[in-house]
Amino acid sequence: MASPRPTGTEKLPALPRGTLGSVTVADGGETAPVSVALVGAGQRGIEVYGDYIFRHPEAARLVAVAEPDPTRRALAVRLHRLPPDRAFTTWEHLLSHERLADALIIATPDRVHVEPALRALALGYHILLEKPIATTRDEVLQLQQAAMESSGSVTVAHVLRYTEFFATIRRLLDEGRIGRLVSIVHIENIGFWHFAHSYVRGNWRRAETASPMILAKACHDFDLIRWFAGRPCRSVSSCGELTYFRPENAPPGATERCTDPCPVEPTCPYSAVEIYVRRFAHRTGWPGSVITGDPRPTARLQALRESPYGRCVFRCDNDVPDHQVVTLEFAGGITATLIVSAFTAENTRTVKLMGTHGEIRGHLGRGEIVTYPFSSGLPLVLHTQGGEGHAGGDEGLMQAFLNRVQLLRTGAEAPAAITSLSDSVDSHLMAFAAEESRRTGRIVHLDR
């Protein structure tokens, strides 16, 4: 259905800040906070989710943690005043007990998601599961089966659906503002420094120890494209490779580490000194917090001399592609292109949705969405609220997850999670298909 002819000055009602996907808990007086156990007290676990719980004692309480790193574990114990017998070294220890909490957050490395999730589902936990939900197709399907048999549930940390930006785009589509959706062009602009941090020097540099780049970085994007298309994907083709961050591209004279000192460092955009000591000098959290907990320049320089994060980007043991393009065909003739690239100035997502009666262009970093209706030709500009942590998505996710668990634990009816496991299964299968197509050069048909 085409939308009514817009006036050009029309204002859309803003989505209520921070209430995306939330459910209202029946007002029967004081409600006890949701008890939460945390597996993996790293950047996501303690800095994002632990921090949210710390700031919202009325909504949640951290009651147990599993973390092998003694410093991180001690931090969680201290901040959340955990008794010693509720601090475990690994997920296996925590989950060898009967259920210790209403909810469990799994924020371990990519390859340590599926096993704790399966065990936690058997114990009936309501799980907030970090992406990727699993790193192989078989594991994804195994998880789906286990969730169907469990009294617990899985909410996937696809944070972007909880941003006002993407929720507004979804609403514009639902309102028929551009008629029938026909094509999508979605760009994941990783940002040159972010790619160097995570995919050249950092934890996601090798597919075998983390997961394929297209899964690790773009499973959120597949999830969004699937959400916009509103139907299953039929076929996937993809190409891409590791083009630039290779030894043969090292400038003459470049040394092993940026701190050696390296004669190229002062002009190299990928210099670790530039990224961690200059560019993010005043930011105490990510990405600097990944290399050392001490934000002082001297401490960061020392960390660069010793850690993988000080290595020359042309001399790392990375193997994941630095650019990849995916073409997707959905039932009903909708087509989509996803571009994922290291070589972007900005670290943001941009999207263009083309419909029979108009076009939507969005820039997440600016929170800007412009709708171009064909009939009037008058663009409608919307500015959405962003915020810290994935443009406010981290906060929205936690709020929606805790509200839902609050209902579920009393046996009340709760709406499906905005980022349910079943939707995520679809988008993960699209990502696996993209990697298969990139490697084999063949089109992968998901509907056969």
Q: Residues in the site for ligand NAD, rule: CB under 6 A?
A: 39-45, 66-69, 72, 90-91, 107-110, 112, 130-131, 157, 159, 216, 390
Could you tell me the smallest distance in angstroms from the CB atom of residue 176 to ligand NAD? 30
Q: Which residue has the tokens 């915020």?
A: 387
- Of the two residues 44 and 404, which places its CB atom closer to ligand NAD in the complex? 44
Cα 440 from Cα 110, distance rounded (Å): 24
- Of the two residues 223 and 436, which places its CB atom closer to ligand NAD in the complex? 223
- Of the two residues 137 and 357, which places its CB atom closer to ligand NAD in the complex? 137
Cα 145 from Cα 118, distance rounded (Å): 10
- Of the two residues 159 and 272, which places its CB atom closer to ligand NAD in the complex? 159
Q: Which residue is nearest to ligand NAD (CB)?
A: 42
Could you tell me the smallest distance in angstroms from the CB atom of residue 38 to ligand NAD? 9
Could you tell me the smallest distance in angstroms from the CB atom of residue 394 to ligand NAD? 8
Could you tell me the smallest distance in angstroms from the CB atom of residue 152 to ligand NAD? 19
Torsion of CA 394, 398, 401, 404, to 10 degrees: -130
Burial 344-381 (b: 16+ CB within 10 A, else e): bebebbbbebbbebbbbbbbbeebebebbbeeeeeebe
260 phi/psi in degrees, rounded to 5: -60, -40
- Of the two residues 33 and 50, which places its CB atom closer to ligand NAD in the complex? 50
- Of the two residues 177 and 217, which places its CB atom closer to ligand NAD in the complex? 217
- Of the two residues 90 and 385, which places its CB atom closer to ligand NAD in the complex? 90
Who's near 109: CB < 8 A, 6+ residues apart? 40, 203, 210
Could you tell me the smallest distance in angstroms from the CB atom of residue 49 to ligand NAD? 9
Decide: 368 and 362 in contact? Cβ < 8 Å.
yes
Could you tell me the smallest distance in angstroms from the CB atom of residue 211 to ligand NAD? 8
Who's near 154: CB < 8 A, 6+ residues apart? 117, 121, 127, 129, 133, 143, 147, 417, 420, 421
Identify which of 52, 75, 54 has the alpha carbon closest to the alpha carbon of residue 65.
75
